[in-house]
Amino acid sequence: MVQKAATALEALGDANRRAILESLRQGPRSVGEIARGLPISRPAVSRHLRLLKEAGLVADSPSGTRRHYRLEGAGIETVRTYLDGLWDEALARFRLMAENTRPPKWRSWQ
């Protein structure tokens, strides 16, 4: 699972790919529909979609002569589970530090 999450996070490292995922949050779209909302060419969108698909973040299905892309729930869940694990670990470490920290002894000033 860590490798899948690493691949997905690497794919999310590009702003255009994140913008594509944002576009797909509204529902399935063709390459042309996605490209209309981005400052990159259709071939560039296709390359980004291929990487997102390889990372398990999007899936596609044929629709006539076009392909429609949609978010892939399992891939998104992999990233979420990985990040939740990091967050849980950080909170556990913080709790341990907080519980093991004692307030300083105050001196009585006379």
pLDDT at 32: 95
Stated as kind and residue range, the H or E segment containing 73 is: helix 73-100
Q: Residue 42: is its pLDDT beyond 90? A: yes
C-alpha–C-alpha distance, residues 92 and 71, integer Å = 32
Overall average pLDDT of the 44-59 stretch: 97
Element (H, E) at 70: strand 66-71
Which of the four pLDDT bands, split at 50, 70 and 90, describes residue 110? Answer: low
Give the integer Cα–Cα distance in Å for 44 and 41.
5
- Sorted by where each begins, the domain ranges of the chain are 2-100
Q: How far is residue 93 from each of residues 17, 82, 97, 100, 103, measured CA to CA in Å?
A: 33, 17, 6, 11, 18
Q: Which two tokens stand for residue 59?
A: 């899936």
Q: Which one of 1.10.3720.10, 1.10.8.350, 1.10.10.10, 2.40.30.170 gives the CATH number of domain 2-100?
A: 1.10.10.10
Does 108 score more than 80 pLDDT?
no
